[in-house]
Amino acid sequence: MDISELARYFLSPTVVDIFEIVSISDDPANWRMDIYLDEKKILPEELNTINSISYGFTDIVTIQDFPIRGKGVYLHIRRRKWLNKATNQIITRKIDLTHNGTDLTIEFVAFLKATN
């Protein structure tokens, strides 16, 4: 079993399908795990033309997810930028991972609401 298969048990399907794990760091002293993710190099359907190429990444966005084994989990996400060579327009995929007004994943907020 590789890391991406194992990640399906801990991360949302959206995260696992769209992003690849770049690295994981564990800070036992602060009860914290940081997972670094980059968007996979898969051209979004809305950009499905031969004129679009991968053009680097956005700045990192950090969101909090479900704790694992009592440790806070922070996802550090970089979305891929795409350049349309015909228009010189840079486009990023719209991905809703956080609950409105928070830095928490949608699933984590739903869980917290259900337990309250």
Number of domains in the chain: 1
Q: CB of 98 within 8 A of CB of 104?
A: yes
- pLDDT 10s digits, 76-90: 999 999 998 888 989
Q: CB of 25 within 8 A of CB of 71?
A: no
Helix, strand, coil proportions of the chain in percent (round to 5)? 25, 45, 35
The yes-or-no verdict on residue 49 having pLDDT over 70 is no
The yes-or-no verdict on residue 26 having pLDDT over 80 is yes
Rounded Cα distance, 12 and 73, in Å: 13
Higher pLDDT, 36 or 102: 36
Both structure tokens of 49: 């033309």
Give the domain extent around 67.
3-115
Rounded Cα distance, 15 and 7, in Å: 9
> Whole-prediction pTM value?
0.85
